[in-house]
Chain A
Amino acid sequence: MDLSISNILVSLALGSAAAAAAILVWFIVKRPPLVWSTKIALLLGLGVFPIATAATGNVVGFQHTMSRQFCSGCHVMEPFTDDVADPRSFTLAARHSRNPSFGDHSCYACHEDYGMFGAVTTKLNGMRHVYEYWTRFHSMSIEEALPQIEMFKPYPNKNCMQCHSTQVPTWYRVPEHAALDREVRNGEVSCASAGCHGPIHPTTDGVPL
């Protein structure tokens, strides 16, 4: 049995949910008088155990929202998630995903906003993705949706620079890096530009899907 933190949290959440459910079903079926012992039982059944379930469930849910499997839950993302999972693919996303530091969380690792409130802004953007999916892409086939899928804002070079410091001499030895140093740093030229390191994912007008 896999004893990962996530599995332990799931077991804790299920255990406390079962304990709460047992107390609540007992209360509904037996209809005991509202004495001190009933109040304490209800404090456990309506307060302590459900709060424990919700807290552990939230942690597990939040962890799962970072997984590639979660992103592929929307069918229009499948060409991207299938590509990064393909060991024969040489797209930038696939090569990064083969790195264990990215692994199963590669979508989140690259698309997460950095900074103090990065996780919050990433999740808010994620909610916008959900809205767009349910209002626009849900009823489309993958072929119909792909030409319309676009980033809300240009991919920030800052995200690449979290790992690639761009400060080492070998980086400056690449003529394009040296020539575009200022433009890369202020975001005028994207690392993911076609001809530089892009396209990151397979696209309809670049690498065939």
Chain B
Amino acid sequence: MKRRIQIVRLLRRVRLNAMRLLRIAAILALVGLGLIVWSLLDPRPIPIMVAMSVAQGIGTLSFVIFLVVLLEDAWRANRKRKAERDEKEEDRG
């Protein structure tokens, strides 16, 4: 939990909010896709090896960023719902 808070603080400090992270993920995915398309249109050893290694890594990183943002968003929404529910229960009490 402590580490998680530290990561969130770090992301805030470098101004990496969800939308900015998703834009980075989108740009990374476009780069990865470009490398794969290069290997398909120009099937020589270097493009093929780059597509099967570097492009895969870049693509995986962009998808992981997307999943992290989704999880973070879901976690935040869940926390908000929980806080609202607690508030309502307090009001009733």
Binding site for B on A (CB under 8 A): 10, 13-14, 17, 20-21, 24-25, 27-28, 31, 34, 39, 42-43, 45-47, 50-51, 53-54, 57-58, 60-62, 64-65, 69-70, 73-74, 130
Contact = CB atoms under 8 A, between A and B. Distances in A.
Interface of B: 18-19, 22-23, 25-27, 29-30, 32-33, 36-37, 39-40, 43-45, 48-49, 51-52, 55-56, 59, 62-63, 66, 70, 73
Contacts of B22: 27, 34, 42
Given A28-B23, A28-B26, A17 B37 contact: yes
A46 B19 contact: no
10 contacts: A13-B37, A21-B33, A46-B26, A46-B62, A47-B63, A50-B29, A51-B59, A60-B40, A70-B44, A130-B49
Given A61-B52, A73-B44, A74-B45, A54 B26 contact: no
Nearest to A27: B26
In order of increasing CB-CB distance, the 6 nearest A-B pairs are: A73-B45, A24-B26, A57-B36, A46-B66, A61-B48, A64-B43
B36 A21 contact: no
Nearest to B37: A17
